[in-house]
Each structure stands twice: as structure tokens, then as C-alpha cells.
Structure 1
Amino acid sequence: MPDPDPAAEQGQRVLLLDAATLYFRAFYAIPSSVTAPDGTPSGAVRGFLDMTAALVDRFRPRAVVACWDDDWRPAWRVARIGSYKAHRVATDGSGASGEEVPEHLPAQADAIAGLLAALGVPRVGAPACEADDVAGVLATRTGSTAVRGVDVVSGDRDLLQLVDDHAHGGAGVRVVWIGKGVGNAEVVDGAALAERYDLPPQHPGDAYADLAVLRGDPSDGLPGVAGIGEKTAATLLRRHGDLLGVLQAALDGDSSVTPAQRRRLAEAADYLDVAPRVVRVLRDGEAVEPFGDDTAGVDAADVPTPDLDSTSSRLDEAAVTALAERWGARSPAERLVAALTR
């Protein structure tokens, strides 16, 4: 679809950054030979600042918010599907476990967090929430009447489920998909999403979440329904509206669901009971009850609402300069400051 008209939308929309998508992408795109003055690899820091500056320059948002992974593998998801992200778990010699990440990335992620604070860009995380959940809650939180639409920046297909042309008084929630790089970022609204995946056009974001349940996602350890791939899932959803409609049609013996598909859906019944809650990101007003080994659940109310007032009032240029020089990233930092204060 065509790019948004900056003149029509400047200063009205909120830009939500899936921060991990940006800094992981920067880490792998920039060679380790790019270092800070002390020799520490700094590509993720430089790349994150440059990509964010380019996005702010292009979209001219009212505010920028960085959505952060406070819990990359929440217990409420793992309790429902034990394989969820299990292949990414790293265990050290003491038996402690965490996410498997490249050696030089954690220090750079910490530096990015410090730079965001100095830049005056809110960084929002919450207990038991992935960055996807933070984005889901903030994108669907409607308390600010001054917000005319939300753009969610990510290279993760999971967040396509947030696309909603009807939210925020019709200004909508769009996804700025950077799977092919920030320079080739695609603005995905409802029409674009429905066309890309051949989904029902009425609520393509919700339909995409249902498609993701059926298709599965090996990168997240989600098996999906054996024998039902993306195209078959889309066909079933177009015919029956949503996942519940597909399952009801299978139970009713509807001829549009083949005997093999009915069998596979029946065999996946346990997975289908829990997968929608695992796949669906948290929305404002939702709470997920404890389940199995998870005794806490999660509540969207725990996601704080960021201050969307002018970044320039919170900007600490001296702190930005000091941190940027420490990481050999003064030029990218200056570009981002200029974009944020323009």
C-alpha cells in the first residue's frame, strides 16, 4: 500500500517500537568490527539509533515508545504449551536458565535502555509480559483522545494480529513491518493484511491470529495443526469466519472441511484448547488466569501508560552525548535527537 501522507498525519500517531526486533536486527546486520572506543562491539547500539532515527524521520509521530521484553518466555504461556520457545532456553553451569543470546548483545541492550532514558523516549515493560504484549496493550488502550492512530514497528509476524482499521476513531492500528529492513518498511493496514494472507476482510487482525494458531510457528515452538498450512488455514477461515467457526464446521461434518482436515483438527484438540491464548498478544482490559504450573497469570493493568508529552522536555543532551561517546555512536545519536526534536 502507499506510504502514509506525512502532512496529514504528522504529530498525531504514536509509534510503538518492538525494541528487541530492532536491536537484534542491528546486531546481526552490523559487523562485530564496529566497536566502541574501548574495543567493545557496538553495532547493535549504532544500528538501533540509526533505524529509530529513520523511522521517526519518515513517520513524524506524536510520540515514540519502546516496548521492552521484561519476560521473554512468560510462565502463563509455557504452562499452556510447554514447547513455547523451549529451543531458545540456555542453561549455565549452575542450572540457571534464560534466553540464549549472543555474547555481546546484553551489554548493548542495557546501553540502548540508558540512551532511551536520556533521549526522553519512554521504555515500557511489565511483569510476565513480552514486548509483543506491551505493544498489544498500548495499541488498544484508548484513554488518550489526542492519539490519532498507532503504528507498531516490528519484524515479527505475530504483531500483524494487532492491525485494526476501526480502532482510535477510525485512525486505526497499523503495523510497520521491517522484515525486509527499515529502508523497505511496509505499512500494513487491514486491506493490505487481508490481501497478503487472503484473509476475511472484516477483521483481518483477528483472522491472522486464528491463522497463526492453525499454521503454527516453529520459531516459537508452536506446532500448529498437522497438515494445515497457511493457505489451507486461510481458506478455512474465509469460509467459516474465525477459528471457532472452523471447529464448529468440522464438528458438524460440513462438507467444506474434508475428512482428513476434520481428523487433524480432532487430533489437535488439546493444542487448540490452549493455543489461542498463547498466540494472541495481551490487549488492554484483559487478564489471563493462572493455569497449570503458572500461579500468577498476567493482567494488562500492570502495563504502565507512558507519558506521551513532548520528548524534548525530557531530553538530557549531556547524558545522551556521554553515553553515545562511550559506545562510539555519537553521529547516530545526534541524528535521532534531531529527528525527535524536529
Structure 2
Amino acid sequence: MARITDTTGRLLLLDTASLYFRAFFGVPEVIGPRGVPTNAVRGLLDMIATLVERSRPSHLAACWDNDWRPAFRVEAIPTYKTHRVSGTVDGVVEEQVPDALAVQVPIIVDALTALGVARVGVDGHEADDVIGTLATLYRGRLPIDIVTGDRDLFQLVDDDNEIRVLYTARGGVRNPDVVDEAFLLDKYGIPSGAAYADMAVLRGDSSDGLPGVAGIGEKTAAKLITTYGSLEALRAAIDAGDPAIKGAQRARLEAGAEYLDAAPRVVEVVRDAPIGEIDLSAPTRVADPALMSRLAVDHGLTNPFDRVVSAFDALGMG
């Protein structure tokens, strides 16, 4: 399993693809000396520097999508992310990724390697599952910040164990929404991360190809989950003929029974993905100076690397 040898400080979990996609679309294109665009690399390195300067994490993981559309989710809901499929190459379903971003991903991998930032992925799983597993493994041992632009990870919010989400969709990493249980209550009218997951099942999410229960919008979904406490309890009430669930609403929920059987397997993040042995300690030195130097020269990344190293230097990197 992943290792945290010191349980003081803070664990920072990065939804890496969410961040480098945001960087790609938000940072003006820059072409490096080798003719390769570098805006996503630059943007991600700048984000990491900002997060390290602000959060001063003792532990850090760049969580990775080893599989962006896992088979177990597609089996449950065949429409899962179908609108993002670009085609099949050698039997592998590939995601639509702009060419100018795709060529930067190997550079991002090398940059994280050079810096010594742990990059954690699990075959057959998304980064969300890696984040869910690490948050579960280390909850209660140290505070955990999850950095993402994906609302799905709100389900991991847990005030008792100091797990929160820094949500970058609106303000980026410089001014993220800090999502805790008070945020969930104010924004959605639900009390917890677990309740958010249940609400998300009912509501659905068109961006992921999840239809939800027809006619049940976000507000209704939140009210139902708050009233009954959980999706499981709501479904038990439907089956028991609860008279408070009637008319068109009952008909819609009953019609959505097959979807409700399957959708939790898609929406809920995995909490026990097989993560191997890896040290999550924030870097105390540049892991591969030669690789970092080559990347800096080949792609014009000296300034972004200097800023990240300066941020880590404040934590003890030399």
C-alpha cells in the first residue's frame, strides 16, 4: 500500500487530469524549443507550486487515470462517457483529447518523475478511485485536501476526518471553493459527502452520460435524500408503499428502478483500489536533476520548474 511515514502535516491529492485539462484550456499556447506546445505542462507546474506554497503539504500524490472509462462502470451503465469516445485503437477505447494536449502528457509524466512527486494510478481505475482509496486509507491520520474540478469527489467530504475538496471549476487553484459539509448544506441542502453521492445518483450527470431518474432534478433529489437519509432508505420506502411518495414522483422512481440498481456502481468512487507500495512524502530534493534539466532546455520550462522547486524548498527540498 501507499506509505505515509509521518502523520503530521497535510496530504494533498491532485486529480491530475482535471488540472492539466484546465491548464490546457486556460493557459495561452506556448511552443517550446522542440516545437511542442507546453501550456498544459506550464499550467500544471504553476498549479502545483501555488498549492504547495499555500497548503504546505507534508504528503502529496498526483493521482492518475490509468483507465478513464473502467469496464466495471461501462458494464453497469453502457452510456458512461460514450460522448467522449474518439474511437478504438488495438482494441482500446480512446478518449477525445486534443492533439496539442496529448503530446504534452508524456512531458507531464517526466516532469513529475523529475521532481519526485508520487504519481499514483491503478489499472482498471480512474483517478477518482485512487483518490477515494487514499482518502480512505489515511482519513483520521492527517488532514486531506482533494484538488479537482470534478463534483463527483464531493462524496468524499468528511468533516470528522478533516477531508475537504478544493474545487477549481470556478476560481482555479488560486481561489477554489473550499467544499466541506457546511458548503454542501448551503449549496445543495444535503448534510454529508455520502448524501451527495446518493443525490448524484438520482440527479444523474449528462457530462458523464448518466441519465438520472427522469423528472428528478437536483433540488428534488436533495430533498428526497435529506428526507429519507439515504438512497437505500428511499428505495426501501418506495418498496414499502410509503404514502408520502405518490403520483408522478412514485411513477418516475419506480420506472427508474433498473437505473437505480446500477448507477451507484458508477457514481461511487472505489475505496479499496489495489495501490502498491509508494511513498507519498512531499519531495525533499529533486529526484532526477538531469531529467529536469533536459526538460527545461528542450521545452523552455526553466521558470516553471524554478517556481515549483522554490515552493518545495520551503518544505525542505534542496
Fold in common (TM above 0.5): yes
- Contact preservation (8 Å) 2:69, 2:126: yes
**Letter matched to residue 26 of structure 2:** A
Structure 1 counterpart SS, 2:132? helix
Q: CA deviation at 1:341?
A: 2.2
Q: CA deviation at 1:256?
A: 3.1
- Aligned residue in 1 for 2:4: none
Match of 2:169 among 167, 179, 183: 179
Q: CA deviation at 1:268?
A: 0.8
- Aligned residue in 1 for 2:157: 163
Match of 2:69 among 56, 73, 96: 73
- Which moved further from structure 2: 235-244 or 313-322? 313-322
Structure 1 counterpart SS, 2:184? helix
Q: CA deviation at 1:107?
A: 2.0
Please show how residues 262-281 of structure 1 align to structure 2 within 5 Å.
262-281=250-269
- Aligned residue in 2 for 1:62: 58
**Letter matched to residue 28 of structure 2:** P
- Which moved further from structure 2: 97-106 or 126-135? 97-106
Q: CA deviation at 1:319?
A: 2.2
CA distances 1:279-316 after superposition (whole Å, capped 9, x unpaired)? 000013xxxxxxxxxxxxxxx2x222530335124533
- Contact preservation (8 Å) 1:16, 1:67: yes
- Aligned residue in 1 for 2:307: 335
Q: CA deviation at 1:235?
A: 0.6
- Contact preservation (8 Å) 1:11, 1:60: no
Q: CA deviation at 1:97?
A: 3.1
Q: CA deviation at 1:318?
A: 3.3
Structure 2 counterpart SS, 1:238? helix
Do residues 253 (structure 1) and 247 (structure 2) align? Answer: no
- CA, structure 1 residues 176+305, in 2 after alignment: closer, same or farther (shift >3 Å)? farther
Do residues 243 (structure 1) and 231 (structure 2) align? Answer: yes
**Letter matched to residue 184 of structure 1:** N
Do residues 326 (structure 1) and 298 (structure 2) align? Answer: yes
- Contact preservation (8 Å) 2:202, 2:212: yes
- Contact preservation (8 Å) 1:37, 1:328: yes
**Letter matched to residue 46 of structure 1:** R
Structure 2 counterpart SS, 1:182? coil
- Contact preservation (8 Å) 1:211, 1:233: yes
Identity over the aligned pairs, expressed in percent? Answer: 51
Q: CA deviation at 1:238?
A: 1.1
Q: CA deviation at 1:320?
A: 1.6
CA distances 1:64-109 after superposition (whole Å, capped 9, x unpaired)? 1100000000001101110001111112687753111101212211
CA distance in 1, matches of 2:178, 2:117: 22
How well do the aligned residues superpose, as a CA RMSD in angstroms?
1.9
CA distance in 1, matches of 2:295, 2:247: 62
Q: CA deviation at 1:333?
A: 1.2
Q: TM-score, normalised by structure 1?
A: 0.85
- Aligned residue in 2 for 1:306: 278
**Where in structure 1 are there 5+ consecutive unaligned residues?**
1-9, 285-299
Structure 2 counterpart SS, 1:45? helix
- CA, structure 1 residues 11+79, in 2 after alignment: closer, same or farther (shift >3 Å)? same
Q: TM-score, normalised by structure 2?
A: 0.91
Do residues 222 (structure 1) and 210 (structure 2) align? Answer: yes
